[in-house]
């Protein structure tokens, strides 16, 4: 095989089957109807923001095989930059979100150039150390508000004409961005570029032996993941109207890892389901058990890992494959 040979696409590379597409359409219909069936728009918007964050992280871990402990740096830095650009400089929400996403992309390039030369636990520890540096910068920088965070970020008008103060209008904007990013991630993963990423995940030495510049592919995947995580952080700031240190804290990196593992790493719907479970539990238990919510979610995570080692979606897909094999 020559050095320029493209890996043979897997069975999933052709795209989802009819049943999966039908499931996606049903979920999209439910999402479109959410404001009219009694679901609180702000809660669903928060869920969509974290689902996008988890999907971005899954692009790096699930499809490239790189475990980052520092993804909160991209999410949180974009949240702060977006809020600061809108509140202090009067930018429109779309420009503020683009500024936050761009800041996360630049940070992703810097992190990636340093981290991708290492593998395994060393890669994870480098990303964690770099993220902690970002956390302390956010803690000390004057424009972030320190421990109080950046409060009172106005939503403003989209393109100067559409007011985002209405939660329903804001909800459909967030939903449109989420759907576009989800379809974009699917396209990336099922493209020849995505097949190379999967080869790197499965057998990096072989990818190197075939002539692929592995570091370039990993860097691009890292920057794409960081940019999408930053987009999620910027959206979250506009939705919730604030950015705080919790957005850039190491525990946020732990939460996104939890979401991905809980739903199923390496699947499209897994991180979204995992984000839904975690955010729903936090929302339901926060007022009832207070700080114990973290302990309860941790216990649920342990149980799910023991019962569903591939995550909820991963186990369902494995069950479907076993059923097909027996048939």
Q: What is the pLDDT of residues 139-186, one digit of tens each?
A: 988 888 888 888 888 988 888 888 889 889 999 999 999 999 999 999
Q: So what's the pLDDT on residue 19?
A: 76
Q: Average pLDDT, whole number, for the chain?
A: 87
- Report the distance separating Cα 133 and Cα 59, nearest Å: 24
For residue 302, name the pLDDT band (cuts at 50, 70, 90).
confident
Q: Is 47 within 8 Å of 275 (Cβ atoms)?
A: yes
Mapping DSSP to helix (H, G, I), strand (E, B) and coil, where does residue 158 land?
Answer: strand
- Specify whether the CB–CB gap between 252 and 76 falls below 8 A: yes
324: its two tokens: 């097909």
| Residues 243, 139, 92: CA angle, nearest 5 degrees | 35
* DSSP designation for 148: G
CA count, 13 A, side-chain hemisphere, 245: 13
Give the predicted TM-score (pTM) of the model.
0.90
Give which of 121, 119, 66 is closest to 260, Cα–Cα: 66
Helix (H) or strand (E) holding 157: strand 157-158
pLDDT exceeds cutoff 50 at 5: no
CB 206, CB 199: distance < 8 Å = yes
CB 133 within 8 A of CB 125: no
Average pLDDT over every residue of 291-310: 79
Contact indicator for 270, 264 with CB cutoff of 8 Å: yes
**What whole-number distance in Å separates Cα of residue 100 and Cα of residue 210?**
37
Across residues 64-69, what is the average pLDDT?
92
Look at residue 77 and tell me whether its pLDDT is greater than 90: yes
Using an 8 Å Cβ cutoff, are 47 and 277 in contact? no
Cβ atoms < 10 Å from Cβ of 106: 15
- Alpha helices by DSSP H, listed for the chain, are 18-33, 41-64, 72-89, 93-115, 120-140, 167-190, 192-202, 204-209, 214-240, 250-263, 270-289, 293-307, 311-326
User: What is residue 6's DSSP assignment?
Assistant: P
Query: Which of 5, 1, 130 lies closest to 77, judged by CA?
Result: 130
Q: List beta partners, residue 150.
A: 243
């Amino acid at each position: 095989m020559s050095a320029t040979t493209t890996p043979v696409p897997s069975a999933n590379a052709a795209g989802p089957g009819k049943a999966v597409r039908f499931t996606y359409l049903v979920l999209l219909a439910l999402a479109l109807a959410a404001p009219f069936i009694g679901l609180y728009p702000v809660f669903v918007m928060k869920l969509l923001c974290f689902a996008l964050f988890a999907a971005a992280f899954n692009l790096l871990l699930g499809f490239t095989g790189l475990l980052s402990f520092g993804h909160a740096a991209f999410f949180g830095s974009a949240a702060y930059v977006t809020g600061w650009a809108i509140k202090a400089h009067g930018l429109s929400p779309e420009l503020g979100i683009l500024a936050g996403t761009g800041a996360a992309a630049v940070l992703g390039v810097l992190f990636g150039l340093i981290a991708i030369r290492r593998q395994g636990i060393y890669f994870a520890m480098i990303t964690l150390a770099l993220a902690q540096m970002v956390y302390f910068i956010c803690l000390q920088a004057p424009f972030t508000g320190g421990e109080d965070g950046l409060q009172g970020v106005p939503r403003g008008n989209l393109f100067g004409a559409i007011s985002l103060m209405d939660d329903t209008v804001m909800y459909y904007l967030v939903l449109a961005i989420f759907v576009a990013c989800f379809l974009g991630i699917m396209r990336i993963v099922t493209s020849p570029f995505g097949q190379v990423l999967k080869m790197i995940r499965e057998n990096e030495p072989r990818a190197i032996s075939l002539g692929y510049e592995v570091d370039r592919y990993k860097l691009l995947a890292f920057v794409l993941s960081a940019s999408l995580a930053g987009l999620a952080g910027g959206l979250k700031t506009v939705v919730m109207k604030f950015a705080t240190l919790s957005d850039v804290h190491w525990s946020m990196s732990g939460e996104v890892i939890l979401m991905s593992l809980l739903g199923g790493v390496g699947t499209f719907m897994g991180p979204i389901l995992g984000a839904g479970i975690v955010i729903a539990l936090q929302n339901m238990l926060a007022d009832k058990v207070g700080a114990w919510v973290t302990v309860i979610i941790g216990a649920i995570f342990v149980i799910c890992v023991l019962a569903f080692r591939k995550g909820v979606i991963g186990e369902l897909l494995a069950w479907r494959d076993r059923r097909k094999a027996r048939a």
